[in-house]
């Protein structure tokens, strides 16, 4: 196994950002403080805090936050002694103003996220992050939906704007280990900055995919305690750390403390069970953005159609993050077609 040096691997815990999707963006300040404090005590490197759709995501379209995300960022910063607070920003949702405010509150890192073909919209935000003294990383979402060559092309753009690392982001949980390996290897061979990997567990291969990424030299790795995230969740942090320890990695994070916080602090926050059910399985199968699941389930109830049919249709249409409005359109069209067929 071609292991990167342990000191080079940096883990970002995303339960307080991607996990926001799983709780319909209803985190309280007290919950954020408790999770951030426990993660910091365990030795976590970075903790990402923001609306599930990034800075500025608290809208009717994406889901309103219970608590303003800037309050949550400030709370997490106050609780951490060694972990750095990170944020996510999707250009078109978050703004330079949002980024500046998060930086003032103490956020030290931003991942600027775009669809895998739209890296050019990240330039302004990466530049601004570097000006603010933040670590600025590129985050190429829906990486399964484009060729490896296209992904490399877009990663090079982000690097040219000043990104200090670029992520292969499996937003749909659709990639398989050999596909992750191919993409990460290509980026490692083409870039002189770090490569990262962000996985979702919709096909139950998030840990395997993360290990494959690491074998090919990825040093920026994401996880979410108890899999708390969109769809079936992300790479489960405490499980990943246990496997990494078995393989000889020691990244300075206390496994027992991570196990305890997963069960005692994060567990009570989870609504229902964070497991692979039919909806999240279809996300990975159809290659649809993981945060679309709850929207599709709501639209299915509204129009009395199977959410799986909605997701399959969205996959055929190759919708991307930011096109949540299409979910209702698809549900309405499917309902009309069903009614027409019933009259024949």
Is residue 144 part of an annotated ligand binding site? no
Is residue 200 part of an annotated ligand binding site? yes
Phi-psi region of 322 (alpha: psi -120 to 50; beta: other; left: phi over 0): left
Known catalytic residue at 51? no
Helix (H) or strand (E) holding 214: helix 206-215
Tokens 């944020």 belong to residue = 87
Q: DSSP for 159-211, please give it.
A: HHTT-SEEEEE-TTS---HHHHHHHHHHHHHH-SSEEEEE-B-TTS-HHHHHH
Per annotation, catalytic residue among 21, 25, 125, 144: 21
Give me the phi and psi of 32, to 5 degrees please: -65, -45
Is residue 171 part of an annotated ligand binding site? yes
On whether the CB atoms of residues 236 and 225 are closer than 8 A, the answer is: yes
CB atoms within 10 A of CB 316: 12
Buried b (16+ CB within 10 A) or exposed e, 145-156: bbebeebbebbb
- Annotated binding residues for substrate, written as ranges, equal 17-18, 171, 198, 289
- Annotated binding residues for Mn(2+), written as ranges, equal 18, 198, 200
- Annotated binding residues, written as ranges, equal 17-18, 171, 198, 200, 289
Please identify every residue annotated as catalytic: 21
């Amino acid at each position: 196994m071609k292991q990167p040096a342990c000191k080079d691997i940096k883990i970002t815990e995303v339960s307080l950002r991607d996990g926001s999707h799983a709780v319909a963006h209803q985190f309280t300040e007290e919950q954020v403080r408790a999770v951030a404090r426990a993660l910091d005590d365990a030795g976590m490197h970075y903790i990402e805090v923001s609306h599930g759709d990034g800075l500025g995501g608290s809208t009717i379209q994406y889901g309103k936050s219970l608590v303003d995300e800037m309050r949550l960022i400030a709370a997490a910063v106050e609780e951490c002694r060694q972990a750095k607070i990170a944020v996510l920003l999707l250009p078109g949702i978050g703004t330079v103003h949002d980024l500046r405010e998060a930086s003032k509150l103490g956020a030290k890192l931003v991942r600027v996220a775009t669809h895998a073909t739209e890296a050019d919209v990240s330039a302004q935000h990466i530049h601004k992050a570097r000006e603010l003294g933040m670590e600025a990383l590129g985050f190429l979402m829906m990486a399964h939906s484009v060729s490896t060559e296209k992904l490399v092309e877009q990663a090079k753009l982000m690097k040219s704007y000043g990104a200090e690392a670029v992520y292969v982001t499996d937003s749909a949980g659709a990639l398989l280990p050999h596909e992750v390996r191919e993409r990460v290897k290509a980026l490692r061979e083409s870039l002189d900055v770090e490569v990262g990997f962000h996985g979702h567990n919709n096909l139950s291969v998030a840990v395997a995919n993360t290990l494959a990424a690491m074998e090919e030299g990825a040093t920026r790795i994401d996880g979410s305690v108890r899999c708390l995230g969109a769809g079936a969740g992300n790479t489960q942090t405490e499980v990943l750390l246990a496997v990494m320890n078995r393989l000889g990695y020691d990244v300075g994070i206390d496994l027992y403390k991570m196990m305890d916080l997963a069960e005692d602090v994060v567990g009570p926050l989870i609504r229902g069970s964070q497991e692979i059910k039919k909806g999240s399985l279809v996300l990975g199968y159809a290659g649809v953005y993981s945060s679309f699941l709850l929207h599709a389930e709501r639209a299915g109830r509204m129009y009395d159609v199977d959410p799986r049919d909605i997701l399959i249709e969205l996959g055929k249409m190759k919708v991307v993050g930011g096109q949540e409005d299409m979910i209702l359109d698809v549900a309405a069209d499917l309902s009309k077609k069903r009614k027409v067929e019933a009259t024949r």
